[in-house]
A and B are shown apart, each in its own frame.
Chain A
Amino acid sequence: MEALLFFSVFVIATCGLIYELVAGTLASYLLGDSVTQFSTIIGAYLFAMGIGAWLSRFFKKELLSWFIQLEILVGLIGGISSAALFLLFEHALSFRLILYMLVGLTGILVGLELPLLMNILKNRYEFRDLVSRVFTFDYIGALLASIVFPLLLVPYLGLIRTSCFFGILNVLVAMIVLVKFRSEIKWAAYLKIKAVAVILFLSGIFFWANEIMTFSEGMAFRDPVIFTHSSPYQRIVLTRSKSDLRLYLNGNLQFSSADEYRYHEALVHPVMMYGGSRRKILILGGGDGMAARELLKYPEIEHITLVDLDPSMTRLFKENTLLTKLNSNSLLSPKLTIVNADAFQWLKENKETFNIAIIDFPDPGNYAVGKLYTTAFYRQLRHSLNDSSVIVVQSTSPYVAPKAFWCVNTTLLTCGYKTIPYHTYVPSFGEWGYVMASPAALYQQHDQLPEGLRYFAAGVFPQMRLFTADMDKRAVRPNQLNNQVLVQYFEDEWGKYQE
């Protein structure tokens, strides 16, 4: 009997802390900036618990029934909290408001629990004894929660299941109390039905957690989704597994933290070797700051202008600590200016010229993006270059889409650029292609590379320029605004590949 009640305290305490941790984690996943999120969530939660504790004075009769009601309610609200937050994240006008309301509500309910329980137990135990035991189990529960949460729960259960699981525990406490104190409880049958219903409901969520996640996502991702944001331009999704953080834009993989260094080193360092003067750099696209990170390894670079359409991308990669760790805070560098604008439009108005331009747009999978790979675009770009400037264009996979890849090359040639097509292997993408280009003849002008590269080296580049028969040059037409052949090649080839 006694053990049972104190076990309840232990469970309640664990659950209470878990809800708090879930909310804090979710908030930092979804809103970024973990320090702020965690401290405000904890503060709000504790304050709400205080309100709960204060409210407990108004419960005078039928304490056991109320306690059971409360446990069921805490179980329900705490249990569905993370599923609800994931689902609402996209649709809610003010997600923060909902988040804090939920945190507040859970806090109030959790804050009610212990005072209520102590009131129930006060006539059964000596007060001194009661206080000491309740708080001991409370703190042990908290310790347990804080250890298992990061080590076991998040990695193995995920957030949605974790909160469901603890919600169910909460309701189980209610059930146990209900059974044990049957005789003292009013509306027992009604409460039992209610508890069973909530347990079933939460088990359902627990069981379908992945689907809920996916459904909230509208599409299936390999790993748990930790962040989603729909900007007017694109849908940004971050997923995370144990060792790997992945960014998807409109469902297309942009990088995997495990091997993005291969992609970005191959994007940046060859063009730096071939560029004569390297003082002023232009990045088009590349709002993730990874290309900028590679560039900042060259002290001679004076200034980088980064033009990316989407302010929410650049903000995310400037502020989210997970991501700034990946790009080494490159977007906060004083050498870098971020311009949130449409690249084509911006080039039309730009008066500056750049020594090097790195063009890292999404793949030409639709007619809108296809415009950024046309002769019109590269001709416009020419006005922002010197005669000796060097550029590089990410050009999709020459293995999967050889016609699309060679179309980028042909398009640049048509505009009078000299080109060096090359490719590399990026495990998460497969074989990936780039085209280096310049208005002047291309030759290697530097052999000094920055320290600490993990993949690229001067000796590797000749290999990257070799194309095996299955990726080799195809006869293709240049991509123009009025034919958009690139989009057609790309769709044909990737379409077949994905069938």
Chain B
Amino acid sequence: MNGENTRSNTLTRKDFLRYMALIAGGSITVGQYVACQNKTDRYAHITGKINGASAAIGHRIREGSFPVPEVTTYTDTLIVGSGIAGLAAARKLQQQGIDFKVLELEPTPGGNAGFGKNAYAAYPLGAHYLPLPNLQHTALLELLEEAGMLTGYDAAGLPIYRETDLCFDPEERLFIHDRWQEGLVPQFGVQAAALSEIQRFLAEMERLRQVKGADQLFAFDIPVANSSADPVYTALDQISMRTWLEQKGYHSEELHWYLDYCCRDDYGADAAAISAWAGIHYFAGRKGKAANAESSQVLTWPEGNGRLMQHLLQFSKESLLPNSLVYQVTPAGDKVQVDYLDVHQGITKRIVADHCILAVPQFVGRRLLPARPPAANFVYSPWLVANITLDNIPAGSGYPLCWDNVVYKGRSLGYVNAQQQNISQISPDKQVITWYLPLDHLDPVNSRKYALGLDHAHWVKLIADDLAIAHRHIHALIRRIDVQVWGHGMIRPHPGFLTSQERHAVQQSGHSNIFFAHSDLSGISIFEEAFYHGNKAAENVIARRRS
């Protein structure tokens, strides 16, 4: 119930309060000044550590020289890698009753869709949302239905999603001109000319969303493989997104920032480094619809895509062997020998299988197979994800705290408040937010080196100072920062890559019983692509067993 709060405000009272506020303000400032003088280090109290894909172990593949395995076991299909692609393949095989094993280098499954946990919350370590799937993507809709996230269809055939899996409102805000505005498209304090340019751009994207090529396929679709091959559209892959914008007469600073943001968000590099086809695909590829949500909404969970990953994991719980570094895959007649290092026992083992699915990125996969040419065009954007534990999340001025909170022209992509997806009124003692930084300030190789070389204290300073742009006094609220470095986070669709001969050639392993499955084969690193490639590889195995 709300009633009148209270009145009887006389002028003197207001003045008094103002006066008191001034004194209080004054003493706080003085207090802080003194505190700053005493404690020049605003970061020292922040704990945490650096985690990362086990780069050191992984690098042993490059060095080679493993002893010949002693133990040999057999299985029908061996899956290397338990990312979304590997787990999707496993689900398919399990549903067909096919015997399989999954080897995973890390102690926990999920790859980029993994998640972490502390006393206060579960949180994503990488991927954190899934846009509403396109209605044609039936395999994905079925998966969501199976997981209970899609509860049925309305009379018009639109999917109804379980409300608790949709991103709770308020969804997004942008810190621009020292204030939080609603939504990520710059608006607050933006000139009318720029605003109308943004409108024109969004209308153009809406048009391209529906456009089809001469082959009657959507020009931009998910999975990428279903998109039209019409050269009118594929030609867009030859130029960068920034060039395309300029060619089309889009010049406003705000729109250019927004596209840099979008490209960095999905591909880990700005619009100058990403092909126009991929940049447009970010908008036009997504045609999802729902009975109970706007098309632009997403599915998300406190632990991010870790939720979807856990659903997939049910199908391979018993067959998953973590801490297993696969270092060599050798075709042997109609069998495949897969050699791996049991990281815990420190010994090498061999599994002989009828089929093998390599659900690992190309930069790994090509080293596993004999005489595989280097995949030079496969460029990966390094990423940093930090989970930050704080006493509380400051609100800031303007629009209230959202699920996604981005700073205009910020170095990072801002932070996600994944805990907003909890239904409870009771918030834990401490809050956890997830902060994203695509490492694109140098070229990928050097950014990767830089990231792997930085110690925790440096990350803390970098991250806390970045957050302080929008929340000036945040340093004192931060308790802990856990840093996750993804050296090869996302495949980068740089101009020319998607249409390159190499990307198409690489889809085939050159062996009739070995299949690749990884989102990088699409050139676009999203859940849907990983899921698509996992399914496709499993279907190939199933088809081959039948023949």
Contact = CB atoms under 8 A, between A and B. Distances in A.
A8 interface: no
Given A432-B1, A483-B169, A369 B425 contact: yes
Contacts of B1: 252-255, 263, 362-363, 394, 396, 429, 432
B67 interface: no
Contacts of A494: 2
Contacts of B6: 219-222
Interface residues of A, number: 53
Interface in A349-383: 362-363, 365-369, 371-372, 374-377, 379
B426 interface: yes
B293 A482 contact: yes
B168 A396 contact: no
Interface in A20-78: none
B7 A342 contact: no
B423 A253 contact: no
Interface string A233-265: 100000000000000100111111000000100
Contact of B17 (A215, A253, A367, A397): A215
A480 B424 contact: no
A379 B423 CA distance: 13
A321 interface: no
Nearest to A343: B425
Contacts of A369: 425
Given A220-B13, A222-B8, A344 B2 contact: no
A360 B221 CA distance: 48
Interface stretch (A150-158, A206-214, A274-282, A443-451): A206-214
Contacts of A162: none
B345 interface: no
Contact of A211 (B17, B167, B293, B425): B17
A345 to B, nearest CB: 5
Nearest to A347: B423
A337 B294 CA distance: 42
Nearest to B21: A215
A380 to B, nearest CB: 8
B64 interface: no
Interface in B209-235: none
B5 A342 contact: no
Nearest to B299: A482
A41 B168 CA distance: 51
Interface in A295-315: 309
B341 interface: no
A255 B2 CA distance: 9
B183 interface: no
B27 to A, nearest CB: 14
A188 interface: no
B interface secondary structure, majority: loop
A273 interface: no
Nearest to A208: B16
B510 interface: no
Contacts of A362: 1-2
Determine the interface band of chain B, counting residues with CB < 8 A from chain A.
20 to 34
Contacts of B424: 342, 344-345
A428 interface: yes
Given A233-B426, A309-B425, A344-B425, A481 B3 contact: no
A484 interface: yes
Interface in B160-206: 163-164, 166-171
A481 B16 contact: no
Contacts of B8: 220, 222
B139 interface: no
Contacts of B410: none
B165 to A, nearest CB: 9
A343 B424 CA distance: 8
B20 interface: yes
Contacts of B400: 366-367
Which of B2, B163, B424 is the most central at the interface, judged by chain A CB atoms within 10 Å of its CB? B2
A309 B169 contact: no
Contacts of A480: 163, 166, 169, 292-293
Contacts of B4: 222, 253
A375 B9 contact: no
Interface in A394-425: 394, 396-397
B134 interface: no
Contacts of A345: 423-424, 426
Given A365-B2, A394-B1, A481 B169 contact: yes
A211 B4 CA distance: 19
A309 B425 CA distance: 8
A16 B283 CA distance: 77
B297 interface: yes
A342 B422 CA distance: 11
B224 to A, nearest CB: 27
B7 A481 contact: no
A376 B16 contact: no
A252 B3 contact: yes
Nearest to A218: B17
A377 B424 CA distance: 11
Contacts of B170: 367, 484
Given A220-B13, A371-B425, A363 B166 contact: no
A482 B1 CA distance: 24
B343 to A, nearest CB: 39
Contacts of B9: 220
Contacts of B2: 252-253, 362-363, 365, 396-397, 429, 494
Contacts of B297: 482
A370 to B, nearest CB: 8
A428 B3 contact: yes
**Residue of B6, B8, B13 most packed against chain A (CB within 10 A):** B6
A259 to B, nearest CB: 11
A211 B16 contact: yes
Contacts of A211: 12-13, 16-17, 20
A481 B166 contact: yes
Contacts of A372: 425
A220 B7 contact: yes
Interface in B252-311: 292-294, 297
B18 to A, nearest CB: 11
A429 B293 contact: no
Contacts of A253: 1-5
Contacts of A233: 425-426
A139 B167 CA distance: 71
Interface in B482-539: none
Contacts of B168: 367, 371, 481-482, 484
A482 B168 CA distance: 4
A208 B13 CA distance: 9
A392 B170 CA distance: 27
A251 B17 contact: no
Contacts of A263: 1
Contacts of A251: 5
Contacts of B3: 252-253, 256, 428-430
14 contacts: A211-B12, A253-B1, A253-B3, A253-B4, A365-B2, A368-B425, A369-B425, A372-B425, A376-B164, A396-B2, A397-B2, A483-B294, A484-B168, A484-B169
Ranked nearest first, the 4 interchain pairs of A and B with the lowest CB-CB distance are A253-B3, A484-B169, A376-B163, A482-B166
Interface of B: 1-9, 12-13, 16-17, 20, 163-164, 166-171, 292-294, 297, 400, 423-426
Given A253-B5, A372-B425, 5 more contacts: A342-B423, A377-B423, A482-B168, A482-B292, A483-B169
